[in-house]
Copies of this chain bind each other. A is one copy, B any other.
Amino acid sequence: MVSVSDAEAIILNLVQPLNSQRDTEIVDLLAADHRILATPVTSPLDFPHWDNSAMDGYAVRYKDVQDSNAEQPAILEIVEEIPAGYQPKSTIQPGQAARIFTGAVMPTGADTVIMQERTRQEANHVLILAAPTKSQEFVRQKASFYQADTQLLPAGIQLKAQEIAVLAAAQCPRLNVYRRPRVAIFSTGDELVTLEKPLQPGQIVDSNQYALATLVRESGAEPLLLGIVKDDPVALQETMNYAINNADIVISSGGVSVGDYDYVDQILESLKAKIHIRTVEMRPGKPLTVATFPPQIVGVQSFTPVQQPTLYFGLPGNPAAVLVTFWRFVQPAIRKLSGLAEGWEPAFLKVRSHDELRSDGKRETYIWGRLHLVDGVYEFHKAGGSHSSGNLINLAQTNALAVLPIGTTLISPQQEVQVLQVSNS
């Protein structure tokens, strides 16, 4: 039995991130959402590219207008109109101005923009009704946001709308991102069936496969669904063999407890896996097997030329235990593997509990529920119904897990508790 924090450390130490040379692929910018950048991006350009106007108005020489006001307005000759997107032709001389629009390039000679609300145009002259507060007002200087050759984005970040916009501005139609980790998934148990109706006596639906497929995809990896494997050592060994040669991570559920038909550990040993963890001091999730296979231990062709050790998670079969152990251990492992430079560790918030929370204090206890925002502050609400690890139904709409450490038997309403946020809706 290892503690939860030791288990976390063991697991995350076993994970080697994807290789930034080998484990990458090129994607189109518009398909890059949520992908993880494998190469830093440097700007080929200054931002802004040119001195340009931040307002619709008039480009002027500061000296000509610094004392201007509504009573004694400077009167300037308009020598050009510069819409956005065009190159100015004139050089502004003393006593001159150019009509200019937001985003348009500043003409040489001018150094300041007067917004049009502070002017009056009369034929081809403009009256400046208020002096600018300073020279350069409403001019966005070339390179004032970023200079060419500055790094815009580091490697290892996950791309979202704002990064994709930056990459567009930097003229990157295609990007080098980490490939998605491949995660093989199978369920074990003679009682399991897919979605058949009606269920024969003793049968249940293999809901774990659906949960894990979705969790893996939500974590940014590609699930490889290997289906249901009977409680039969030969079938199990065959599936495991295939899985470890075709995935970065393998996840099975069921078959890790003490029953006569719990073959997972036995077959891992026969395949010469190194077993790092067998049980963890947590509830749910006590029987949790974590193992590694050295690269290419068995015959089948591996899916990448140079394979990393495959990480194996034998999750307990109970549906709540699958979700909790995935969120607590597997998701951080996938995220570290996927090339994320930071933010893959599970993040715990300290919040107020709305409800009483109980544990026997003997194992670290995970209680599912929801975070609600109350006046800008998160509050944890325990899910109603049975918190048996065999339950699944009341895990619907869970967005957080409250964590009661060993020795804590009670959290009273309004007391503070640590929670792991597992979803943002």
Binding site for B on A (CB under 8 A): 29-30, 33, 43-45, 47-50, 54, 56, 83-87, 101-105, 116-117, 140, 144-146, 152-153, 157-158, 160-169, 171-173, 189-192, 195-197, 199-215, 217-218, 231, 257-262, 317-319, 323, 343, 347-350, 373, 375-378, 385-386, 388, 390-398, 418, 421, 423-425
Q: Are A319 and B165 in contact (CB under 8 A)?
A: yes
Q: Are A350 and B323 in contact (CB under 8 A)?
A: no
The verdict on A83 contacting B231 (CB below 8 Å), with A171-B205, A172-B195 known, is yes
27 A–B contacts, CB within 8 A, in A order: A29-B195, A33-B218, A43-B393, A45-B199, A47-B393, A56-B262, A83-B190, A83-B191, A83-B260, A84-B191, A85-B192, A86-B202, A87-B202, A101-B260, A116-B259, A140-B390, A157-B397, A158-B425, A161-B215, A161-B218, A166-B396, A168-B195, A169-B207, A169-B319, A169-B392, A348-B373, A348-B376
Q: Are A33 and B217 in contact (CB under 8 A)?
A: yes
A425 to B140, CA, bound (A): 31
Q: Are A30 and B210 in contact (CB under 8 A)?
A: yes
The DSSP consensus for interface residues of chain A is loop
List residues of chain B with CB within 8 A of the CB of A168.
195, 205-207, 209-211
Across the A-B interface, give the 9 residue pairs with the lowest CB-CB distance, nearest first.
Answer: A85-B191, A350-B376, A85-B190, A165-B211, A56-B259, A161-B214, A87-B201, A84-B191, A168-B210
Q: Are A56 and B258 in contact (CB under 8 A)?
A: yes
List residues of chain B with CB within 8 A of the CB of A396.
152-153, 157, 162-163, 166
Q: Are B199 and A105 in contact (CB under 8 A)?
A: no
Q: Are B171 and A197 in contact (CB under 8 A)?
A: yes
List residues of chain B with CB within 8 A of the CB of A33.
214, 217-218
List residues of chain B with CB within 8 A of the CB of A347.
373
Looking at the assembled complex, report how far the CB atom of A91 sits from the nearest CB atom of chain B, in whole angstroms.
Answer: 15
List residues of chain B with CB within 8 A of the CB of A218.
33, 160-161
Looking at the assembled complex, report how far the CB atom of A257 sits from the nearest CB atom of chain B, in whole angstroms.
Answer: 6
Copies per complex? 2
List residues of chain B with CB within 8 A of the CB of A166.
207, 392-393, 395-396
The residue that A376 contacts in the complex, of B117, B217, B349, with Cβ under 8 A, is B349
Nearest chain B residue, comparing its CB with the CB of A418 = B376
Nearest chain B residue, comparing its CB with the CB of A201 = B87
Q: Are B350 and A169 in contact (CB under 8 A)?
A: no
Q: Are B105 and A144 in contact (CB under 8 A)?
A: no
List residues of chain B with CB within 8 A of the CB of A213.
30
Nearest chain B residue, comparing its CB with the CB of A421 = B424
List residues of chain B with CB within 8 A of the CB of A375.
350
Looking at the assembled complex, report how far the CB atom of A54 sits from the nearest CB atom of chain B, in whole angstroms.
Answer: 6
List residues of chain B with CB within 8 A of the CB of A395.
162, 165-166
The verdict on A201 contacting B376 (CB below 8 Å), with A165-B395, A168-B195 known, is no
Looking at the assembled complex, report how far the CB atom of A424 sits from the nearest CB atom of chain B, in whole angstroms.
Answer: 4
A152 to B166, CA, bound (A): 43
Q: Are B29 and A204 in contact (CB under 8 A)?
A: no
List residues of chain B with CB within 8 A of the CB of A162.
211, 323, 392, 395-398
Can you add 7 more A-B contacts, CB < 8 Å, to A48-B204, A50-B201, A376-B418? A50-B202, A84-B189, A101-B259, A104-B202, A161-B215, A169-B205, A349-B373
Nearest chain B residue, comparing its CB with the CB of A30 = B213
Q: Are A103 and B145 in contact (CB under 8 A)?
A: no
The residue that A103 contacts in the complex, of B47, B191, B200, B210, with Cβ under 8 A, is B191
Q: Are B105 and A201 in contact (CB under 8 A)?
A: yes
